[in-house]
Every structure is written in C-alpha cells, then in structure tokens.
Amino acid sequence: MATHANDIALAVIGGTGVYALASLINVHAHQPVTAYGAPSGPIRVGTLAGKRVAFLARHGEGHSLPPHKINYRANLLALRALGATRVLALNTVGGITDHFGPRVLACPDQLIDYTWGRVSTLSEESGSDVLHVDFGDPYTPSLRKDVIAAAIRANVLMVGHGCYGVTQGPRLETKAEIARMRRDGCDLVGMTGMPEAGLAREMGLEYASLAIVANWAAGCSARDDEEITMDEVLGNVAAASEGLPALLREMLAG
Ligand code: HPA
C-alpha cells in the first residue's frame, strides 16, 4: 500500500449511527488493503478547520458488520498507513451509572474487556513479535485532555471520565450481566471498544474514545417498558452528535 506524508491531523472512527462526517470538505475516498486485509469500508480523507481528517465507518457505511466481525487490525493499520497518528473513536454505548444517561457524551478513562474470540493483537500470527504493551491507562491521556478541552471550548457537555465495559454482542446484555458490570465498576457498555483500543496501543497510535450514550443499559432505566430499540438508539445518537462538528473544529484548531 502506498504511504502518504504524515499529514492527517486526526482520524475519526464512526460507530453505530455515525456513518459519515458531513462537515468534511474536499473529500477523497481511499480503499486500502493492508497486511491484515481490507478495512470496514472506504477511508474518506478531507478537510475540516483547515486540517486533514480521515473518517472510517467501523461497521461499514451501510452498517453491515457486527462488532465481532470487524477487522479492527485492518482498520487501524489502514489509518496509520495513510499517515494518521491520532485516532478518535466514536463508540455508541448504553449507560449504566447515574451520570451516563441517554444523549450524554463521555470521554472514558478506563475499560474492562468482556469480549472473547476476537483477533485482539498483532502477536496473533506465529513468528510475530510478542507484545506486552503497557495498558494501565488504555486511552492516551494527552488526547483525552484535548477532547475534553475542545468540548469545553465548543460548549458541548461531556462527562470527562468513565469506565467502558466492552461486551461481545451483537445481542444486548441481560439485566444480570449489566448488574455484574455495575459491580465491576463499569459506567458504560458497548461492543466495539476492544480490541480496538489495545491494537491502537500496540500500533503506537494515540487513541481516545468519545462515547455517545444511546440508551439506558438493561435494567438501568426507571421506565417499566424499557425494551431497547434501534429507533431509540439511532434517535439519541443523532441528537447527541449535534455538537460533534463544533467539538472536532475546536480540537483541530487547538
Ligand atoms: N449495550 C451494548 N452496546 C450498546 C448498547 C447497550 O445497551 N447501546 C448501544 N450500544
């Protein structure tokens, strides 16, 4: 794959409900294939606030890939090959604890990985280096700081911490599973936070998550009729994402 000058100020990975960045202009689509295969779809590189920004829809632009089938390694490697060094991952999640209700934006500082059976490391193939990267702080502190500062400047409300529990999916969780996650210390639940964050660390990428709360997780709503529907998820993601262009502009300007 051709490599480009290291000129991409930020790579954004969109999650459920965020399949494009409307504020990108002069967009060119790249269709790279990496040593790990093809990413989820085209990487759209364009300009935002005068800086070059790359966007990739994690589930594919038509949301055709469930969380456990995403080629996380190819996605990150393709972004890196295009020159990205900083990755902002948008993760659509459910809220577990009080401050993380629907439509909240959060920048988690911790995660717990409950996924299984996913290709989760660059050390997968025999003969590859065995990597024991430090992961005590799974998100890059300086990038988190920039996200939170940009949110403040853009007047976008954001919870600047939180523990993201990553489940296997694609089904949603039982109430008992969420109760256990709450006991474990999780504030948020989603299906795509890992292995992405771990792979980003292995690849030397700066990486932070901007979690978009779409619904109360199972058993956390005060409502009796609390079935979680895709309509509810997508409606809340759309509403919560309204401040995203302003936040990205501030991040890029800063
Ligand atoms: N659980 C897991 N993943 C999710 C949820 C949820 O409640 N909402 C959005 N993504």
> Average pLDDT by consecutive 10-residue portion of the chain (254 residues)?
65 92 93 95 96 96 92 98 97 97 97 97 86 96 98 96 98 97 98 98 98 96 82 92 95 88
pLDDT at res. 1: 45
pLDDT of residue 224: 65
Q: Which of 104, 215, 234 maximizes ligand 1 atoms within 8 Å of its Cβ, making it the mutation to test the pocket?
A: 215
CA 18 / ligand 1 centre spacing (Å) = 15
Please tell me if the CB atom of residue 189 comes closer than 6 angstroms to any atom of ligand 1.
Answer: yes
Check residue 176 and give its pLDDT.
Answer: 97
What pLDDT is recorded for position 3? 43
Question: Which atom of ligand 1 is nearest the CA belonging to 190?
Answer: 3
- Please report the pLDDT score of residue 128 as a whole number: 86
Q: Is 27 in the pocket of ligand 1 (CB under 6 A)?
A: no
**In the CATH scheme, what is the homologous superfamily, with its name and number, of domain 10-253?**
Nucleoside phosphorylase domain (3.40.50.1580)
Q: Which pLDDT belongs to residue 126?
A: 79
Report the pLDDT value the prediction gives residue 5, as an integer from 0 to 100.
46
Predicted pLDDT at 227: 85
With helix as H, strand as E and coil as C, how does the chain read?
CCCCCCCEEEEEEECCCCCCCCCCEEEEEECCCECCECCCCCEEEEEECCEEEEEEECCCCCCCCCHHHCCHHHHHHHHHHCCECEEEEEEEEEECCCCCCCCCEECCCEEEECCCCCCCCCCCCCCCCCCCCCCCCCCCHHHHHHHHHHHHHCCCCCECCCEEEECCCCCCCCHHHHHHHHHHCCCEEECCCCCHHHHHHHCCCEEEEEEEEEEECCCCCCCCCCCCCHHHHHHHHHHHHHHHHHHHHHHHHC
pTM to 2 decimal places: 0.95
Task: State the burial class of residue 73 (Cβ atoms within 10 Å of its Cβ: 0-12, 13-18, 19+).
Answer: buried
Give residue 222's pLDDT: 85
Q: Quote the ligand 1 centre to 190 CA distance (angstroms).
A: 5
